[in-house]
């Protein structure tokens, strides 16, 4: 199954992914619109010792957020592999059990609606590639099978060694 994968070395922290994510999930579908609407992004850019580190949901197999969801709203689609609490029969209760369970810390509290809800990456509901990947100008984000990604990484490393020697 395809995943959103990150080449940390290539990321320069430009925040395009964050803005594109907010835009995609806004009503207007534009970056200024998302800013005006106050749409939160679902991908996060952290800095550690000056280096940017994008953090995004992995849509885990046996996802802890799904296991901990006591309303049944958080589900993993068996076909697409997308883990989301939106668009299901059950409604998120805002109990924050998923936030407590997510080892990557990529679920946030959304207080925009009448009742608070958990908010997370929905991988643009299956749109390929997801907005964050499509917007990355540095080729740091990929949407592909993890095996394919490691193959690319392996070749890159090999190339480096060739150049040095």
Please report, as ranges, the residues that interact with other proteins according to CB under 8 A.
8, 44, 46-49, 51, 53, 55, 62, 64, 67-68, 70-72, 89-91, 93-109, 115-116
Token digits of residue 105: 């810390």
Q: What is the DSSP string of 129-158?
A: S-HHHHH-TTS-EEEE-HHHHHHHHHHHHH
Cβ closest to other proteins, residue 68 vs residue 138: 68
Provide, rounded to whole angstroms, the least separation between the CB of residue 145 and other proteins: 21
CA 91 to chain CA centroid, Å, is: 21
Cβ closest to other proteins, residue 37 vs residue 104: 104
Cβ closest to other proteins, residue 33 vs residue 64: 64
106, 42 Cβ separation under 8 angstroms: yes
3-class secondary-structure state, position 55: strand
Provide, rounded to whole angstroms, the least separation between the CB of residue 156 and other proteins: 16
Cβ closest to other proteins, residue 36 vs residue 55: 55
Provide, rounded to whole angstroms, the least separation between the CB of residue 151 and other proteins: 20
Measured CA angle at 106 (ends 49, 145), to 5 deg: 95
Furthest-apart CA atoms within the chain: distance in Å: 62
Provide, rounded to whole angstroms, the least separation between the CB of residue 54 and other proteins: 8
């Amino acid at each position: 199954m395809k995943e959103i994968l990150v080449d940390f070395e290539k990321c320069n922290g430009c925040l395009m992914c964050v803005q594109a994510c907010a835009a995609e999930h806004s009503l207007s579908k534009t970056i200024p619109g998302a800013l005006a609407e106050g749409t939160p992004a679902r991908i996060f850019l952290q800095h550690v010792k000056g280096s940017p580190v994008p953090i995004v949901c992995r849509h885990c197999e046996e996802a802890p957020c799904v296991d901990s969801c006591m309303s049944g709203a958080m589900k993993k689609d068996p076909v697409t592999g997308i883990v989301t609490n939106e668009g299901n029969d059950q409604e998120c209760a805002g109990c924050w059990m998923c936030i407590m369970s997510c080892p990557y810390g990529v679920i946030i509290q959304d207080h925009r609606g009448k009742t608070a809800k958990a908010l997370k990456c929905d991988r643009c509901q299956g749109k390929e590639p997801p907005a964050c990947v499509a917007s990355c100008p540095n080729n740091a984000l990929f949407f592909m099978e993890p095996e394919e990604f490691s193959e690319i990484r392996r070749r890159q490393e090999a190339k480096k060694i060739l150049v040095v020697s």
